[in-house]
Amino acid sequence: MEGQATGKIFTALLAMVLVLFWVAPVPAATAPDQIVIGCTLPLTGRFAGNGIEVKDGYEIAVQHINEDGGIFVKEFGKKIPVKLVMYNDESDPQKAVTRYEKMNTDEKVVAYLGSFSTTINASLVAIAEKNKVPIVISHFGQLRPHKQGYKYLFSPFHKASPDHPKLLDAIAEIFGKESVKTVAFVMSRSEAAFDELAEFKARIAKEGQYKDKEGNFKTVVEETYPLGATDFSMIIAKCKAAGAQVWISHPTPPEGMAMMRQMKELNYNPQVVDMTQASSDRGWPGGQHELGEYVSTLEAWIPGLPWPGNTRLLADAKKRLAGKMPWCGVGTGYVDVQVVANAIERAGSLDRDKIRDALAKTEMMTVGGPVKVRPDGTFELNVYLCQWQKGTYVPVWPKKYAVAKPIFPMPQWSER
């Protein structure tokens, strides 16, 4: 009897233990102290001017996230602050690759941000894919990598297609949709410039089909040149002889200034000069303002836009810049961090694949306006035509976002 009683007590105790074990909540995973994201930027070398702008954008966005308590991660049930790991890639693609590998192995980043310039960023796509780390890149004009099946590449930035040909929409609206414009394409021999050229030509050809060869735009000159070229006089003379009214190019700032100087010397007076990359530079046009005046290009962000968060961004950017207005790279860098933070919160996890999956469903508001990811990792977004006027870079199109009227046709050289 005593043995039976002992057995019953043991059985009861065992049952209680099992019940307690069964119903006891599983302890929540321990939250990390920080969410680590990483990048390199060209803080020295030929792209340093733009790289420093993007640095400001990245750092201000992280500052704002952390001032608000961090990113809420459902897996841990709390907000976690962000740590931004940043290295100088010295404007060297190979050094960038090495440092992105280091961030993967040593820093254990959950996502990458991009560097500046298509030249550098093109080298990072395969690294992100190999390491299965999602990468969010602005200042990356190439379209081809998005057509090659990469799953970890996301770029909330204007691309050759369909964004750059919106320049033609702007010109048609400003001059009148029925005005015929002759176009000169003068492109560097780079992947991004060739992508841009192909999309412009396709758009012009399509318009011609619809209008019995009486479309708004007609290509009269198509020229390419090696990177670093300094003499464009023969190309400019050809454009002048052909009566090219619209000059569309993709130069570096030094190449762009050489073009403008030689246009003046040869008295070539196009009605529109568009310079992707060159005129976006904070230093454009150096001390030679009369040369750089009226040059324009499309941007994904510019100060003065009405979207949420811009007032706060401008205030903190001005503190860094001794009261000066921030530049385009500041806003696009800020957007990249917004996109990553939004994906982490929606993923509810710091798992890289879950963050990647969330990025693939992005649809949100940013300081650049509404964005929505496409299946290939490019984004639907707003673009703004900006023009240099009296030494200031201002949005002039679309009309509802313009802060100044466009000055087209550009004044003749003799009138400046």
Which tokens go with 35? 């969410």
pLDDT of 59: 98
Q: Can you say whether residue 309 is alpha, beta or left, with left for phi > 0 and alpha for psi between -120 and 50 degrees?
A: left
What DSSP character marks residue 103?
I
Domain 35-158+305-380, architecture per CATH: 3-Layer(aba) Sandwich (3.40)
Residues of the chain with CATH 3.40.50.2300: 35-158+305-380, 166-299+384-415
Per-residue model confidence as pLDDT tens for the chain (416 residues): 555 555 555 555 555 544 444 444 444 579 999 999 999 999 999 888 889 999 999 999 999 999 999 999 999 999 999 999 999 999 999 999 999 999 999 999 999 999 998 889 999 999 999 999 999 999 998 888 999 999 999 999 998 878 889 999 999 999 987 788 999 999 999 888 998 999 999 999 887 655 544 568 999 999 999 989 999 999 999 999 999 999 999 998 889 999 999 999 999 999 999 999 888 877 788 667 789 999 999 999 988 889 999 999 999 999 998 988 888 999 999 999 999 999 999 999 999 999 999 999 999 999 999 999 999 999 999 999 999 999 888 899 999 999 899 999 999 999 98
Q: What angle do CA 142, 125, 35 make, to 5 degrees?
A: 120
How remote is the C-alpha of 49 from its chain's centroid?
16
By DSSP bridging, strand 369-373 and strand 272-275 are: unpaired
By DSSP bridging, strand 369-373 and strand 379-380 are: antiparallel
Q: Please give the class, per CATH, of domain 166-299+384-415.
A: alpha beta
Q: Indicate the angle between helix axes 328-347 and 48-67, nearest 10 degrees.
A: 40
CA distance linking residue 84 with residue 38, whole number of Å: 6
SS3 211: coil
CA distance linking residue 190 with residue 179, whole number of Å: 31
pLDDT of 214: 53
Query: What Å distances lie between residue 307 and 56, 218, 223, CA to CA?
Result: 19, 36, 39
Query: What Å distances lie between residue 129 and 75, 148, 352, 362, CA to CA?
Result: 25, 11, 11, 19
Q: Can you say whether residue 105 is alpha, beta or left, with left for phi > 0 and alpha for psi between -120 and 50 degrees?
A: alpha
